[in-house]
Structure 1
């Protein structure tokens, strides 16, 4: 009889005091059910990664870990961001876990899908993506901007799974390979498909948040999307090149037209067109410099090789 595999569920949390206790109970019961069904070993656990919360989230996690050894916590020294919090959790448990699932604390991602994820992993899949089957729970704006983002990434040649966030199962080997990617500008949804390995998708309906508010407001969503684009594609720089070529061609055409009009004696006052041209070219230059500066800034962050997270306290070591 084959030895049962261990499963760790990594849950990044940031100011989730309103939902953490409920989420912990639901996830723990799911873990216990899988153990009772002999799908995973009794060494399986849930690990909450506190990403510098300003409320009582870490105190609640600490209390849970004291009462139940299968509910553990990692406390980061400050807010490092969702992606780095996930990475901290993966790094901390990869040595002891055969399978690792990542899921957000609000449980909008259906925990009942974990059964199917484990089944797919036991069948030989090393990466199992949890994919939304629709976006009906989103606002019109969020739904259409998300769809536009996925289409844009695909056109730029980025291999990304549409309607997949960070709800996934990975084998120990897949996580070990992931940790070899050392970039500071981390976009896991783009990196993980680069790993290869045998993968599959399982589908679910996203639920409404039971309590609290989203920790990804519009500014953070836009920043996340921009980081994803600039971390995996130089398409924006190529667009600037194309824009520059179009501008030069347009200028040559206008110059030719003006020269012909001058030779024909049809000279007219050109103050409005002159001002518009200056503003247009100036705006294009500012945008171009900003986009190029974004890439230079990313290079600046990468070459410093600063740690992507710092663990202040870890109940796994106790």
Structure 2
């Protein structure tokens, strides 16, 4: 149990969220005011919006909200860097006892924020927000999500199923997360590696409050590839296994061909040869593609480039 009342930062990455912003800021401000009145968080608690190079007037709305309320702060990245980098940028700016990350679309139940604070006070350094009902998702979205989590688990990526980036981190858990310096970020796979005491809160996924989803199928596939190649070498091991299997099948084929040759039953034709060439060529190209993905990540990591640049802050 923790006795001291914590200060809280709610980190909200935003990309073209002009339509949803007004609903998001009002909902989160009401949560802060309620928790402060209940003396569960300190009065210096606030919301930190991170504009990930939006093309609409999201940043203008953030600045206006910050000028009207002491509960709102904002930072603007110099260009669009993606959700995971924007989230890390926001987390890097946190200077409070705890932080909670949440998306601006309000599909994650904001009422769970109080439950997360309660679990932090009970002694947890990490509290995961986990969806236990995706009935508001389309059939396609729901099933691709299940395939996504199943595939990631099969590849050896340790993550909490049906948990995205809605979570609480204590100050020491956040400090540990920021120790990871890799360029290729998959935060939901890094959090379990921290090893601190954790718990979960469960909620029903709501419909998007406004605007369009920022995670279509293309980005979901990119995120899955990022997670697998950043956290596990299972694909490389699969290539090794596939190589052994191919060699074994080729060895059997050689024995069969020699037996047929010496018994006088060899059948002339190109079918088997062509099939073999195409099969082995496909295996080689696939293997080179997977290996190339890993080599590309090594190349990017060795450059040690900055993950982001902050263009503007609301308190400048």
Q: Give the TM-score range, shorter chain.
A: over 0.9
In structure 1, what is the Cα distance between the partners aligned to 2:73 and 2:138? Answer: 35
Deviation at 1:22, TM superposition (A): 1.1
Partner of 2:22 in structure 1?
A: 21
In structure 2, what is the Cα distance between the partners aligned to 1:3 and 1:185? Answer: 36
In structure 1, what is the Cα distance between the partners aligned to 2:3 and 2:118? Answer: 15
Q: Look up the SS of the partner of 2:105 in the other structure.
A: coil
Partner of 1:268 in structure 2?
A: 267
Superposition pairs of residues 131-146 of structure 1, within 5 angstroms: 131-146=130-145
In structure 1, what is the Cα distance between the partners aligned to 2:149 and 2:3? Answer: 41
Superposition pairs of residues 281-292 of structure 1, within 5 angstroms: 281-292=280-291
Q: Look up the SS of the partner of 1:80 in the other structure.
A: coil
**2:38 is the counterpart of 1:34:** no
Computed over aligned residues only, the root mean square deviation of the Cα atoms, in angstroms, reads 1.3
**2:242 is the counterpart of 1:251:** no
In structure 1, what is the Cα distance between the partners aligned to 2:176 and 2:254? Answer: 56
Which stretch of structure 1 is more off in the superposition, 254-263 or 100-109?
254-263
Partner of 2:115 in structure 1?
A: 116
Deviation at 1:251, TM superposition (A): 1.1
Deviation at 1:271, TM superposition (A): 0.5
Superposition pairs of residues 165-244 of structure 1, within 5 angstroms: 165-244=164-243
> Is this contact kept in 1: 2:18–2:61, CA < 8 A?
yes
In structure 2, what is the Cα distance between the partners aligned to 1:275 and 1:3? Answer: 73
Deviation at 1:186, TM superposition (A): 0.7
In structure 2, what is the Cα distance between the partners aligned to 1:155 and 1:203? Answer: 24
In structure 2, what is the Cα distance between the partners aligned to 1:102 and 1:226? Answer: 23
In structure 2, what is the Cα distance between the partners aligned to 1:183 and 1:43? Answer: 32
Deviation at 1:124, TM superposition (A): 1.1
Partner of 1:58 in structure 2?
A: 59
Deviation at 1:147, TM superposition (A): 2.1
Number of residues of Structure 1 aligned to a counterpart in Structure 2: 315
Query: What is the CA deviation profile of residues 12-56 of structure 1, one whole-angstrom value per residue up to 9, with x for unaligned ones?
Result: 000000110111011111111101111111100001000010111
In structure 1, what is the Cα distance between the partners aligned to 2:34 and 2:18? Answer: 25
Superposition pairs of residues 125-136 of structure 1, within 5 angstroms: 125-136=124-135
In structure 2, what is the Cα distance between the partners aligned to 1:212 and 1:161? Answer: 27
In structure 1, what is the Cα distance between the partners aligned to 2:56 and 2:301? Answer: 31
> Scaled by the length of structure 2, what TM-score is found?
0.97
In structure 1, what is the Cα distance between the partners aligned to 2:242 and 2:5? Answer: 58
> Scaled by the length of structure 1, what TM-score is found?
0.96
**2:36 is the counterpart of 1:5:** no
Over 3 Å off, 4+ runs: none
